[in-house]
Amino acid sequence: MTSGVYRWMLLVVCALALPSVAWADWGALNMPVGVTEISGKVYELHMRIFIWCCVIGAAVFAVMFYSMFKHRKSKGAVAADFHESTTVEVLWTIVPLVILIVMAIPAAKVLIEMEDFSDSEMSIKVTGYQWRWQYEYLDQDISFFSQLDSASNVARQANSTVDPASIEHYLKDVDNALVVPVGKKIRFLHTAADVIHSWWVPDLAVKKDSIPGFINENWALIEKPGVYRGKCAELCGRDHGFMPIVVKAVSQEDFDTWVGEQKMKTASADMDAIRQWSQAELMATGERVYAANCMSCHQKEGQGIPGMFPAIAGSDIVNGDMDMHVHTVLNGVPDSPMQGFGSSLSDVDLAAVITYQRSAFGNQAGDILQPSHMRSLRQGLRQSALAVPQNNLKGVN
Amino acid sequence: MANRHTVVAGKSLLLAVAMFGFGYLMVPIYDIICEVTGLNGKTGRVSIAEAQAEVATDRLVTVEFVASINQGGSWIFKPQVQEMQVKPGELNHAAYYAENLSNMPVVAQATPSVSPQAAAKYFNKTECFCFTRQAFEPKGSKEMPLTFIIDPDLPINVDRVTLSYTFFRSPDQS
Amino acid sequence: MSYSDKAHDHPGHDEHDDHHHGPAKGLMRWVKTTNHKDIGTLYLWFSLIMFFIGGGMALIIRAELGSPGLQFVDPMFFNAMTTMHAIVMIFGVVMPAFVGLANWMIPMMIGAPDMALPRLNNWSFWIMPFAFTIMLSTLFMDSGGPAGGWTLYPPLVLQMGDSFAFVIFAIHFMGISSVMGSINIVATIFNMRPPGMTMMKMPMFVWTWLITAYLLIATIPVFAGAVTMLLTDRYFGTSFFSAAGGGDPVMFQHIFWFFGHPEVYILILPAFGIVSSIIPTFARKPLFGYDSMVYATASIAFLSFIVWAHHMFTTGMPLAGELFFMFSTMMISVPTGVKVFNWVATMWRGSMTFETPMLFAVGFVIMFTIGGLSGLMLAITPADIQYHDTYFVVAHFHYVLVPGAIYSLMAATYYWIPKWTGNMYDEKLGKLHFWISTIFVNVLFFPMHFVGLAGMPRRIPDYNNIFADWNFIATIGAFGFGFSQLLFVYIIIKCVKGGKEATTEVWEGARGLEWTVPSPAPYHTFEVAPEINSTTVTR
Ligand code: HEM
Ligand SMILES: [Cu+2]
Ligand SMILES: [Cu+2]
């Protein structure tokens, strides 16, 4: 090919490359510096090795391109006949080795810092489930599940009519964020209840595998209040891409307030769960819960979307045995978009929405489920989102 | 010619078979490495006599207890105390509580794990409910004791040790 | 003059009955053949077909990732695609293609009449289509194809339905095929060299294959052991990898990567050999530092056994382990660097022309180096904690595997196809194939570095909008690259059918025994051992 053709090719490459550079969101190009001392150091290491790689690459390619340009037959170059030179060989073994040692020392230092768990001030146990996270504040007696927020959950369904771009933190938001104080060395203990997951928050430079039966550990000391988002990083099955992590770092006072609120919530949920509710009350609450959690798939009038999401109106399950209905709502339906709500809704919400479904949309079951009964039904289930139903629900599968 | 081929092929095949064996040999090797280095947080086991031979120190270490349930278990499983301060070299007692919430008898196996891993090999137990399977009546519950001792050689920068148990339904149950 | 001409002058001193006849006619020729050239051809066609099957899967993956939201496939099927894509490309494309080249070229390069164990050779090939039929058929079973990633980590992989057993079965057969193929190659190289063909006179391709064959013989059985343990864990109540029974899922990862890291070098060492043959030819200058190339290859092979845990930095390892594997992994880039420097030095002050094989070889050196440098970044443990399981890793291994291993295969095809067919391929089209492939392959894989660093995990079917632009570009690149490979097939078929007649030497600067036999290479070559003395150019 003539050199004219080459020049055209080059132009095409540039023409292709330019708009891509112009469209791209420049924020999405590099590793974040993050908000901990360690994440800053990791970023520095990353940039340092990156620059070294660029320098080495540039040097090698410069020699290569010079040679390809100058030493071509068409330019009349005659092949020299040199080969084998011990000096050169030794040189290009030693020089990279030295560069590597220069690189390895700071890397080792950061690694040693990362592995220093002493003087931690609080512990949070993180358990990976297919496909959500459970957070337990070991010294606070607070425990909750955290899973994909409902807006993303609607938009991520196949054939969803919601545009993912319209959701601000698509697949990066959760229902219950992990709230932590800034300025405290927090130890995270990682384990999993089913398969291996990996808890990764780039801004904190923490990533650790959660392994069923084992406990793993890492830590972070967040310096700046803010919301930091992460993802499950180890393939964990169908919804691996849909179990985000949100860490909300707040000041110590805000954290204390939050802890207070959590405890109040548990206490008032306890109070609510044990009192007797009227059907009207349950129906009112149930309607609200339905709108927030069920409507996106099962639709406003409970009619569902044929072929995709079954109708609630006239449903055999909803009009049939209460146990089956409860089981479905608590545990979901395997291999379907119907997730289990057993771990994400309270006793009251669950009892209310089940009661609601059994009487709304022309459904005839009409019976009511008291929150207190709900509570006794799922005692123990709270321990594990994927727990098998208790005996009175057996055989439903 | 054919003979020489058989020799080379035979030797290579031998290597292949040996490497298949080596794959399996990696299982015990891995266990030994885990025991020596504390990799994967497996705890050690010592006899009472060995434990009593240790000399107590003045240093205080926090031991934190954690409980997890693997999928498919209707359990309550929790430590009786959240954490305790212990002296390395001293024998300590702790307990977990477990309750079978189902109406069926269940056998469970608890698996221990210690974090940080660097501490695992210094965490020794003389008695533990994880040494054997635990059988539960329907709705049955029990308190399950454990006795442990922390080796005084525990690295000085470890001030907090987490002992975690995961409750699995025993695998050989039909 | 050519050695094989000489051979034809003196027929009648061989034991095999099919010698001195041409190939048998019809389909049975291919089923029953024990001829190294036929078997090489079978391997090469097989891997070309698999390349399009694996490529089709890649396009399904990239189509789904073209924009945020789920458009085409269910996440479960998506996972099956990523898993199968990797298994097909590694075990069905790159490995068999290298074996095919070994079959064709090693006997001709060392001056041997055939492979040492021709019947074994026939079996090792015919196992492959059988194994892959089983593997691919799992996609049509109720429980679907394997969806736990090509790394097959338990406990996830154990959640798979009963098609799991078929997957394991297929993997065993692929493994048996590779080990048999390797044994044959080792026996050929050790026993079939004519007098005078010393080890240090062998072409680099033969050397790299010898070392690769040993890597295969040593690691494939370990992998076979690991998957057998998975099988017994699943069906026979063992608990190698289940904590409940005293096992450990992380142990699987150790065993897997003890195989897996040498495996990635299995995928690249023969490529090193190919490039080390092509660059001297087109630079018209012998390979700079042959000896050090041999030593570098050997030390890469050795080091590849002690770096495996760099794939596992986030599983929780003792500090000492992390440091050891960081240092050893960094070390491996030294001999890798030596290779690159040697290629550049071979080009230096040569008299270069850039026919298609050379273009692909140069493309290989540049883009493999990019992949090697990102490998060096991944070796830095604290940084790897951020990189691990992101698209940055995906970018790394695709740079070393696509414009790396796959480019070497294309270079090899263009380089040797005149010898195989007796016809020159269409040079214009070859160059066009190189340029569009190279543009698209970078459009495809370069942006993956960015999204990976910015936080996009690998093996996900859907993502946030901030990753949308680069993913869209990558998808364009994927379709561009995928479709430009149709041109490759067209060029090959055109060349098989006809074209300018190739000379014996084919390339002006060609060195080595394979260029002393006529083009196309006769069905039997070197039935009389060539004379090799200190002045014979064999590499
Ligand atoms: C300079 C040499 C190289 C170094 C230092 C290097 C380093 C690494 C490291 C540290 C990882 C793990 C990244 C992670 O998962 O966090 C990795 C992954 C990988 N490398 Fe390399 N690498 C090198 C060359 C190669 C070559 C030559 C190949 C193959 C031809 C290769 C193929 C792969 C593959 C396939 C993976 C990903 C495996 C997976 O997780 O699925 N690498 N490399
Ligand atoms: Cu996960
Ligand atoms: Cu590796």
| CB-based contacts of A253, cutoff 8 Å, min separation 6 | none
Integer Cα distance of A299 and A302 in angstroms: 5
Question: Is B123 an interface residue toward A (CB < 8 Å)?
Answer: no
Out of A225, A259, A293, pick the residue that ends a domain. Answer: A259
Q: What secondary structure does DSSP assign to C237-267, as a single string? A: ---SS-GGGT--HHHHHHHHHHHHHHHHHHT
| Whether the CB of C400 sits within 6 Å of ligand 1 | yes
Tell which residue, A23, B8, B11, has the closest CA to residue C465: A23
Residue A33 touches partner C, C-beta closer than 8 Å: no
Is C450's CB within 8 Å of A107's CB? Answer: no
Mean pLDDT of A241-257: 94
Which residues have a Cβ under 8 Å from the Cβ of C391 and sit 6 or more positions away? Answer: C448, C449, C451, C452, C456, C457, C458
Q: Residue B174 domain-assigned?
A: no
Q: Are residues B23 and B95 in the same domain?
A: no
* Sequence letter at residue C72: F
Tracing tokens 């068999």 back to the chain, one arrives at C96
What residues contact residue A322 under an 8 Å CB cut-off, 6+ apart?
Answer: A354, A358, A365, A367, A369
Phi, psi of C453 (to 5 degrees): -65, -35
Bridging pattern class, strands B160-169 and B61-69: parallel
Ligand 1 in reach of C299 Cβ (< 6 A): no
Nearest to B66 among A119, A189, A194 (CB): A189
Q: Domain containing B49: what range? A: 42-169
* CA dist., res. C192 & res. C530, Å (int): 12
* CA atoms within 13 A of residue A107's CA, in its CB half-sphere: 28
CB < 8 Å from A in window 135-174 of B: 157-160, 162, 164, 166, 168
Segment of A88-92, A219-223, B43-47, C465-469 carrying the highest mean pLDDT: A219-223
Q: Which of A28-42, B71-85, C479-493 has the highest mean pLDDT?
A: C479-493
Q: Do B102 and A391 touch (CB under 8 A)?
A: yes
User: Are residue A181 and residue A242 in the same domain, yes or no?
Assistant: yes
Residues of B in contact with A193 (CB under 8 A): 68-71
* Shared domain check, C368 and C328: yes
Q: What angle do CA C242, C328, A94 make, to 5 degrees?
A: 170
On whether both C178 and C281 belong to a single domain, the answer is no
**Residue for token digits 């190659």?**
C185
> Which residues, 6 or more positions from A135, have their beta carbon under 8 angstroms from its beta carbon?
A124, A125, A126, A142, A143, A144, A145, A146, A178
Ligand 3 centroid from CA C518, angstroms = 42
**Same-domain status, B24 and B54:** no
Answer whether the bond into residue C30 is a cis peptide, omega within 30°: no
Closest residue of C to A115, CA-based? C319
Taking a C-beta distance cutoff of 8 angstroms, is the pair B84, B92 a contact? yes
pLDDT in tens, C188-222: 999 999 998 999 999 999 999 999 999 999 999 99
Beta bridge partners of A212: A192
- Do A295 and A243 fall within a single domain? no
The secondary structure of chain A, three-state, reads: CCHHHHHHHHHHHHHHHHHHHHHCCHHHCCCCCCCEHHHHHHHHHHHHHHHHHHHHHHHHHHHHHHHHHHCEHHHCCCCCCCCCCHHHHHHHHHHHHHHHHHHHHHHHHHHHHHCCCCCCCEEEEEEEECCEEEEEECCCCEEEEECECHHHHHHCCCCCCCCHHHCCCCCCCECCCEEEECCCEEEEEEEECCCCEEEEEHHHCEEEEECECCCEEEEEEECCCEEEEEEECCCCCCCHHHCCEEEEEECHHHHHHHHHHHHHHHHHHHHHHHCCCCHHHHHHHHHHHHHHHCHHHHCCCCCCECCCECCCCCCHHHHCCHHHHHHHHHHECCCCCCECCCCCCCHHHHHHHHHHHHHCCCCCCCCCCCHHHHHHHHCCHHHCCCCCCCHHHCCCC
**Is residue A145 located within the same domain as residue A191?**
yes
- Classify residue A76: in a domain, yes or no: no
Whether residue B24 sits in one domain with residue B94:
no
Q: Is C158 in the pocket of ligand 1 (CB under 6 A)?
A: no
More reliable by pLDDT, B46 or A130: A130
Chain B CB contacts of C258 under 8 Å are: 26
What total number of domains does chain C contain? 2
User: pLDDT at residue B111 above 50?
Assistant: yes
How many alpha carbons fall within 13 Å on the CB side of residue B28?
4
- The better pLDDT of the pair A397, A291 is held by A291
Q: Do C321 and B39 touch (CB under 8 A)?
A: yes
Q: Is the pLDDT of residue A390 over 50?
A: no
Asked whether residue B76 is domain-assigned, the answer is yes
CB–CB of B166 and C240 under 8 A? no
Q: What is the CATH number of the domain that holds A204?
A: 2.60.40.420
Between the CA of C87 and the centroid of ligand 2 the distance, in Å, is 22
> How far is the centre of ligand 2, averaged over its atoms, from the C-alpha of A175 (Å)?
16
Q: What is the pLDDT of residues A338-375, one digit of tens each?
A: 666 765 577 888 899 999 999 889 888 888 888 888 87
Q: pLDDT at position B132, please?
A: 80
Domain that holds residue A309: 273-393
State residue A354's pLDDT score.
93
- The span from the first CA to the last CA of chain A, in angstroms, equals 68
Residue B83 lies in a domain: yes
Q: Percent of chain A, pLDDT > 90?
A: 42
Give mean pLDDT, residues B165-173: 71
User: Residue A93 domain-assigned?
Assistant: yes
For chain B, what is the mean pLDDT?
81
Q: Are C472 and C64 in contact (CB under 8 A)?
A: no
Within a domain: residue A79?
A: no
Distant-in-sequence, close-in-space partners of B16: CB < 8 Å, separation ≥ 6: C179, C183, C217, C218, C220, C221
CA–CA dist A298, A306 (Å, integer): 10
At C500, the amino acid letter reads: K
User: Do C64 and C201 have their domain in common?
Assistant: yes
What is the pairing mode between strands B160-169 and B106-115?
antiparallel
Q: At what angle do helices C118-137 and C36-64 cross, to 10 degrees?
A: 20
Which residues 114-153 of chain B have a CB within 8 Å of chain C?
A: 117-118
Cβ distance A71 to C352 less than 8 Å, yes or no, reads: yes
Euclidean distance between CA atoms A256 and A180, whole angstroms: 10
Q: Evaluate whether residue A337 is within a structural domain.
A: yes
CA of C388 to the centre of ligand 2 (A): 14
Is the CB of A384 inside 8 Å of chain B's CB atoms?
yes
**Domain shared by A239 and A304, yes or no:** no
A298 in the same domain as A200: no
pLDDT for A333:
66
Residues A335 and A301 in one domain: yes
Chains that touch C (3 or more CB pairs under 8 A): A, B
Ligand 2: distance of its center to the CA of A237 in Å? 7
**Is residue A220 domain-shared with residue A299, that is, in the same domain?**
no
Q: Distance of CA C241 to CAs B34, B114, C93, C234, Å?
A: 14, 18, 30, 10
Q: Last residue of some domain: C204, C219, C249?
A: C249
Of A336, A327, A326, nearest in space to A298 by CA: A336
Subunit contact B75:A380, Cβ cutoff 8 A: yes
d(CA C45, CA C37): 12
Counting ligand 1 atoms within 8 A of each CB, the residue from C331, C387, C393, C448 with the most, and so the one to mutate, is C393
Give yes or no for B129 touching A (CB within 8 A): no
CB-based burial label for C301 (10 Å; 0-12, 13-18, 19+): buried
State the helix-helix crossing angle for C407-421 and C356-379, rounded to 10 degrees. Answer: 150
For residue C233, what are its two tokens?
């864990």
Look at residue C527 and give its three-state secondary structure. coil
Are C442 and C326 found together in one domain?
A: yes
What angle, rounded to 10 degrees, do the helices at C75-87 and C36-64 form?
150
CA atoms within a 13 Å half-sphere pointing along the CA-CB vector of A110: 25
Q: What mean pLDDT is predicted for residues A180-192? A: 94
| A5 found inside a domain | no
**Same domain flag for B13 and B89:** no
| Amino acid identity for residue C10 in this structure | H
Q: What is the pLDDT along chain C (539 residues), one digit of tens a residue?
A: 334 443 343 333 444 444 556 777 778 888 889 999 999 999 999 999 999 999 999 999 999 999 898 889 988 899 999 999 999 999 999 999 999 999 999 999 999 999 999 999 999 999 999 999 999 999 998 778 899 999 999 989 988 888 899 999 999 999 999 999 999 999 999 999 999 899 999 999 999 999 999 999 999 999 999 999 999 998 888 889 988 888 899 999 999 999 999 999 999 999 999 999 999 999 999 999 899 999 999 999 999 999 999 999 999 888 888 999 999 999 999 999 999 999 999 999 999 999 999 999 999 999 999 999 999 999 999 999 999 999 999 999 999 999 999 999 999 999 999 999 999 999 999 999 999 999 999 999 999 999 999 999 999 999 998 898 899 999 999 999 999 999 999 999 999 998 899 999 999 889 899 999 998 999 999 988 888 888 888 88
* B30 and B49 together in one domain: no
What residues of C act catalytically?
A: 85, 114, 150, 177-178, 261, 263, 265, 276, 310-311, 336, 339, 458
> Could you tell me if residue A18 is inside a domain?
no
- C444 and C315 both lie in a single domain: yes
| Minimum-distance ligand 1 atom for the alpha carbon of C313 | 16
Mean per-residue pLDDT, A256-269: 85
Least confident of A74-78, A269-273, C168-172: A269-273
Bond prior to C520 in cis (omega within 30° of 0): yes
Q: Is the pLDDT of residue B151 over 80?
A: yes
Assess whether A220 and A304 both reside in one domain. Answer: no
Distance (Å) of CA C229 to CA A197, A300, C245, C281: 22, 51, 14, 48
Closest CA to B94 of B111, B78, B114: B78
Which of A116, A193, A384 is closest, CB to CB, to B157?
A116
Same domain, C93 and C211: yes
Distance A128 CA to ligand 2 centre (A): 6
- Return the pLDDT at B22: 92
Question: How many structural domains does chain A have?
Answer: 3
- The predicted model scores a pTM of 0.88
Contact A324, A389 (CB under 8 A): no
Same domain, A178 and A198: yes
- The CATH number that applies at residue B114 is 2.60.370.10
Q: Is residue C24 assigned to a domain?
A: no
Residues C156 and C183 in one domain: yes
Average pLDDT over residues A321-343: 70
- Structurally, how many domains does chain B consist of? 2
Boundaries of domain holding C184: 29-249
> Which of C345, C488, C344 lies closest to C410, judged by CA?
C488
**Inside any domain, residue C23:** no
Please state the φ and ψ torsions of residue A112, each to the nearest 5 degrees. -65, -40
Please answer yes or no on whether C251 and B9 come within 8 Å at the CB atom: no
Do B54 and B135 fall into the same domain? Answer: yes
Put simply, whether A138 touches B (Cβ < 8 Å) is: yes
Q: What is the DSSP string of C69-116?
A: S--SS-HHHHHHHHHHHHHIIIIIIIHHHHHHHHHHHHHHHHT-SS-S
Examine the domain organization and report whether B19 and B49 are in the same domain: no
Q: Which amino acid is at B9?
A: A
Query: Are A74 and A6 within 8 A, CB to CB?
Result: no
Domain end point (choices A212, A232, A259): A259
**One domain, residues B17 and B89:** no
CB of C300 within 6 A of ligand 1: the answer is: no
- pLDDT, residue A343, reads 56
Choose among C386, C531, C508: nearest CA to C449.
C386
Ligand sitting nearest the alpha carbon of C401? 1
Please say whether the beta carbons of A198 and A14 come within 8 A: no
The reported pLDDT for the residue numbered A277 is 87
Residue A2 banded pLDDT, cuts 50, 70, 90: very low
Q: Does C194 touch chain B (CB under 8 A)?
A: no
Amino acid at C237: G
Q: Tell me, what CATH number does C349's domain have?
A: 1.20.210.10
Judge if C326 and C445 occupy the same domain: yes
Place of tokens 């090698």: A60
What pLDDT score was predicted for residue A254?
94
Among the partner residues A9, A42, A217, nearest to C383 by beta-carbon distance: A42
- Round to whole Å and give the CA distance between C483 and C391: 23
Q: Are residues B120 and B145 in the same domain?
A: yes
Nearest residue in chain C measured CA to CA from B70: C244
Is the CB of C219 less than 8 angstroms away from the CB of B22?
no
Q: Which uninterrupted H or E stretch holds B164?
A: strand B160-169
The amino acid sitting at C73 is V
Residues 82-141 of A with CB under 8 A from C: 82-85, 88-89, 92-93, 96-97, 100, 103-104, 107-108, 110-112, 114-115
Cα-Cα-Cα-Cα dihedral sign, residues A75, A78, A79, A80: negative
User: In the 8-state DSSP scheme, what is residue B132?
Assistant: S
Nearest to C32 by CA among C169, C154, C125, C147: C125
Determine whether the interchain pair B171/C245 forms a contact, defined as Cβ–Cβ distance below 8 Å.
yes
Q: Give the pLDDT of residue C13.
A: 40
- To probe the interface with B, which of A135, A211, A383 has the most B CB atoms within 10 Å? A383
Residues C321 and C352 in one domain: yes
Q: Does residue C16 form part of some domain?
A: no
* CA nearest ligand 1 atom 19, residue: C397
